Amino acid sequence: MQGARHAWRAGLCVAAALAAMPVFAADPCSSFTWDVSRERSLFAGNATSVPAGKDSATAPALAAGKLVLLQLRPTGEVTFVAAPGRKNATDGGYAGLAALDIVTAGTYRIALDAPLWIDVVADGGLVSSTGHQGAPGCSPHKVVEFEFPVPRRLMLQFSGGGDPSVRVTVTAVQR
């Protein structure tokens, strides 16, 4: 009986100590292994609203280092330059196109605030990403890296979105 009383008191003391400790919310962005401080800084600012293109001729140009609120379209209204790289990316939801002019060769990140599929198209074919990371609850939610070895115009295809808009930024990686 004496042992049970001591165990109960010890448990009560531990519970009281835990209740008195301050609760720290975990940073939802801590799962990124890349330094995404530039992207987070951009996402903390105000975005310029831009309608997504329904085809390559109507695709707005995105600029690196700017935050854009891309107003997507119902997927059925979008004519993709190349078939999206993800199966079922065109089954309903929202989609859209945007252009990106790369003036300096290098590694770039495309960051999104939603779970959305993104393809980069050059010369009619998909450009493979060199990596991607995501952090649910973080803004940005998803960051995808691409290597662009030469200056050129690229087409960005967004598909599989459940929301009619997505915040997007493009940043050059500085290593």
- Does an H or E element contain 112, and which? strand 106-112
Decide if 102 is inside a domain.
Answer: yes
Beta bridge partners of 53: 97
pLDDT tens column, 67-124? 999 999 999 999 999 999 987 777 789 999 999 999 999 999 999 999 999 999 999 9
**Predicted pLDDT at 21:** 46
Decide if 9 is inside a domain.
Answer: no
Cis amide bond preceding 51, omega within 30: no
Residue 50's closest CA among 74, 68, 73, 65? Answer: 68
Distance CA 61, CA 28 (A): 31
Distance CA 75, CA 57 (A): 17
Give me the amino acid identity at 123.
Answer: D
Decide if 19 is inside a domain.
Answer: no
- Which domain CATH number covers 89? 2.60.120.380
Predicted TM-score (pTM) of the model is 0.83
The number of folded domains in the chain is 1
Q: By residue range, what is the domain housing residue 127?
A: 37-172
**Predicted pLDDT at 92:** 81
